[in-house]
C-alpha cells in the first residue's frame, strides 16, 4: 500500500513538473502567420499585440530573407516577457518622407523583460537622408528618423543584432533601467551625418558590451540623466569617439554620474574619449565619477578631451563660460597614437573649473614622439607616464 501511494505521489509530481515545464516554454509567433508579403509593417504590429497579450513568455520570429517595414510604434505594458528574434534583413524606406516624420523608425516602449535577438540586420537605408542633412548650416534643421527608440524599458537586452545606415542616430535609449547591449553592431560610413551609434538619456544601469560601432558621429553618447553606465570591450571607429554630452544647453538637465569606459579600442576617430559642454547656455547640471580606463587609441585626432567650449559649426557664442560642473574624472592606462601633438586637451570652464581630474599612465605618441597636454582651468593629478600640462 505504501509503495502504491509512493508511486502515485511520484506520478503526480511528474505531471506537475511537466505542466510547469510546458507552461514555462515560450509561445512562438512566426510573423508569416499574419502576412507573407514583403512589407511586414502590419504583420509586425499584429504579432506584437498577440505576444504582448500572452500570459506566458512569447517570441516573435522574423525569418531569413529581406523584409520591408515602415515606421512602427509598439508598447506595453505586456503580461509577460517578449522576445523578437530577427534572422533576416529588415529595410526602412529609402525616402525619409515615407516614414511620415516618425522620430524613430522602430519604437518600442513601456515593457519589462524585452529581448531583441538574432543575427539579423535593421537597414535604415540612410544615404538619401544624409544628402538632405543641412544641420551644419541651419540650427532648426529637419531631423530624420532614428533606427531604434527604446523608451522606458526595464530589465531588457539587445544582442547579436546589426543596425545599418540609419538616417539619424542608430539607437536612442530613454528612461530605461537595466538595459544591456551585447555583441551589438553598428555599421555606417564616416560620411553619414548625425548618426550616433547609441545615445543614452535619463537611464540607469545601461551596459554596452562586446560590441562594434562604426559610424559618422559619436559611437556612444551620454545625454543628461545617464547614470551607472558601463561601456566595455567595445571597438569604435570611424566616428567621433565615446562622448559625455553635449550638456548644458537646456535648463533642468539631470546629472550624469558613474560612467566606466574600459577595455575599448578606438580607431581613426575625430575624438577618443570626450566630455563636452556648451558655453553661454543656461544649463547648470553636473558631471561626476567618470572613469576611462585601459583604452587603445589608433590614429585618433584628439584622444583625450574635456571641451567646455563646445560649439559645433560656430552656431553659438563663447562669450560666457559653461555652467556645468565637472568633477572626479580619471583617464588611466590609455595607450596608442594621436594624429595631433596635443593628444590631451582639458579645457574647463573659468566659471566652474574642473575638480578631481587625474591622468594616470596616459602614454600616447604623435609621429613617434610623446604627445603634449593642454590644460585650461584645471590642475590634474598626474601619475605614472603621462604628459605634463601646459596652459
Active-site annotation holds for 291: no
Return all residues near 1 (Cβ < 8 A) that are at least 6 apart.
none
Q: By C-alpha distance, which of 230, 244, 146 is closest to 186? A: 146
Find out whether 222 and 254 touch, Cβ atoms under 8 Å. no
Q: How far is CA 244 from CA 60, 288, 342, in A?
A: 35, 11, 20
**One of 67, 144, 185, 240 is an active-site residue; which one?**
240
Give CA torsion, residues 267, 268, 271, 272, to 10 deg.
Answer: 10
Burial code (b: 16+ CB inside 10 Å, e: under 16) for 295-327 equals bbbbebbbbbbbbbbbeeeeebeeeebbbbbbe
Q: How many CA atoms lie within 13 A of 136 on its CB side?
A: 7
Q: How far is CA 228 from CA 21, 27, 207, 225, 306, in A?
A: 36, 34, 9, 10, 20
Overall residue count recorded for the chain in this entry: 391
First to last CA, the chain: 93
Residues annotated as catalytic (active site), given as ranges: 240
Amino acid at each position: 500500500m505504501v509503495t502504491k501511494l509512493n508511486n502515485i505521489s511520484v506520478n503526480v509530481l511528474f505531471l506537475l513538473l511537466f505542466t510547469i515545464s510546458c507552461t514555462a516554454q515560450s509561445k512562438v509567433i512566426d510573423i508569416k502567420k499574419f502576412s507573407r508579403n514583403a512589407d511586414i509593417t502590419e504583420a509586425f504590429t499584429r504579432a506584437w499585440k498577440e505576444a504582448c497579450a500572452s500570459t506566458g513568455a512569447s517570441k516573435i520570429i522574423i525569418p531569413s530573407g529581406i523584409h520591408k517595414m515602415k515606421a512602427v510604434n509598439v508598447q506595453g505594458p505586456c503580461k509577460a516577457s517578449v522576445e523578437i528574434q530577427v534572422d533576416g534583413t529588415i529595410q526602412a524606406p529609402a525616402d525619409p518622407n515615407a516614414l511620415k516624420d516618425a522620430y524613430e523608425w522602430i519604437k518600442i516602449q513601456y515593457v519589462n523583460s524585452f529581448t531583441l535577438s538574432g543575427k539579423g540586420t535593421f537597414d535604415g537605408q540612410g544615404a538619401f537622408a544624409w544628402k538632405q542633412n543641412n544641420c551644419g548650416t541651419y540650427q532648426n534643421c529637419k531631423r530624420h528618423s532614428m533606427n531604434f527608440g527604446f523608451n522606458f524599458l526595464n530589465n531588457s537586452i539587445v544582442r547579436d543584432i546589426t543596425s545599418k545606415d540609419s538616417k539619424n542616430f542608430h539607437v536612442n535609449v530613454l528612461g530605461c533601467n537595466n538595459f544591456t547591449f551585447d555583441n551589438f553592431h553598428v555599421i555606417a560610413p564616416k560620411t553619414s551625418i548625425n548618426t550616433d551609434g547609441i545615445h543614452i538619456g535619463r537611464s540607469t544601469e545601461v551596459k554596452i558590451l562586446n560590441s562594434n560601432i562604426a559610424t559618422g558621429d559619436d559611437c556612444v553618447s551620454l545625454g543628461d540623466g545617464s547614470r551607472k553606465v558601463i561601456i566595455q570591450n567595445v571597438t569604435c571607429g570611424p566616428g567621433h569617439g565615446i562622448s559625455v554630452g553635449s550638456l548644458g544647453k537646456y535648463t533642468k538637465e539631470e546629472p550624469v554620474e558613474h560612467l566606466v569606459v574600459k577595455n575599448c579600442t578606438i580607431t581613426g576617430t575625430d575624438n577618443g574619449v570626450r566630455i563636452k559642454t556648451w558655453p553661454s547656455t543656461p544649463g547648470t547640471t553636473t558631471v561626476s565619477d567618470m572613469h576611462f580606463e585601459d583604452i587603445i587609441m589608433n590614429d585618433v585626432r584628439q584622444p583625450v578631451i574635456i571641451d567646455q567650449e563646445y560649439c559645433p559649426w560656430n552656431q553659438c557664442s563663447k562669450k560666457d563660460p559653461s555652467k556645468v560642473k565637472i568633477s572626479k574624472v580619471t583617464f588611466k592606462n590609455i595607450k596608442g597614437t594621436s594624429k595631433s601633438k596635443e593628444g590631451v586637451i582639458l579645457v574647463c570652464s573659468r566659471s566652474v573649473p574642473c575638480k578631481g581630474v587625474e591622468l594616470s599612465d596616459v602614454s600616447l605618441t604623435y609621429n613617434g614622439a610623446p604627445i603634449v597636454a593642454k590644460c585650461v582651468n584645471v590642475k590634474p593629478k598626474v601619475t605614472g607616464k603621462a604628459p605634463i600640462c601646459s596652459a
